[in-house]
Amino acid sequence: MSQYQDLKQACYEANMQLPKLGLVLFTFGNASVVDRDKGVFAIKPSGVPYDTLRPEDIVIVDFDANTVEGSGRPSSDTKTHAVLFRHWPEIGGIVHTHSTYATAWAQAQLDIPILGTTHADHLTADVPCAPPMEDAMIAGNYEHQTGWQIINEFEKRGLSPKEVEMVLLSNHAPFTWGKTVEKAVYNSAVLEEVARMAYLSCTLRPDVPRLKQALIQKHYERKHGANSYYGQR
């Protein structure tokens, strides 16, 4: 039995949640899970349909995106995951999808504005959209540079990946992450729903007002603050 069996199983289960939640079509997405003690992460193999995916198909790679175990090619986005895992040690899982509404905002090159309390329950900022990648970055090590496009945009905006666990890439699609891969999957579903709500709101009223700061803080703090009271003890 592989020493990475549990890691592969966790990665497989996370990936299988994506079509179940309506976040991927065909092979449009991937999820990864890190094992920092072993210096590796597990990721979906490239181009394998979800309805035929098996735990043993999951590929194990190191932080340089080199295959450690697995006979298939890892996801074409593996280098992006590797950059984020290497430089953001607090994250344990990453999800990439081309979910419809989040991707629409990415293709429009727009941040998702914070318009309602559903958004504020999860973060206090707009969902950032990183700008289009420069031609030299595209022509070079594209997937590696995609990771840096995300990191550079967070540094430019002064955002913390622990507080904002999602991003859009202009003309591309969303990435989400979390302390665990389960949280990354959750964030991917939340992002799609927030993107859908914002799209509908802006369609109904193009001059829709942003959520007032008092409500942003109230909803975020009651769920995540030191004195939070959402849910059970």
Catalytic residues: 121, 230
- CA 147 → CA 46, 55, 81, distances in Å? 18, 26, 7
Phi, psi torsion values for 186, nearest 5 degrees: -55, -45
Edge to edge, the sheet with strand 40-43 lists 67-69, 59-62, 40-43, 29-35, 93-97, 174-178, 166-169, 129-130
Tell me how far apart the alpha carbons of residues 228 and 208 are, in angstroms, rounded to a whole number: 29
The two structure tokens encoding residue 102: 């989040």
* Cβ partners under 8 Å of residue 214, min gap 6: none
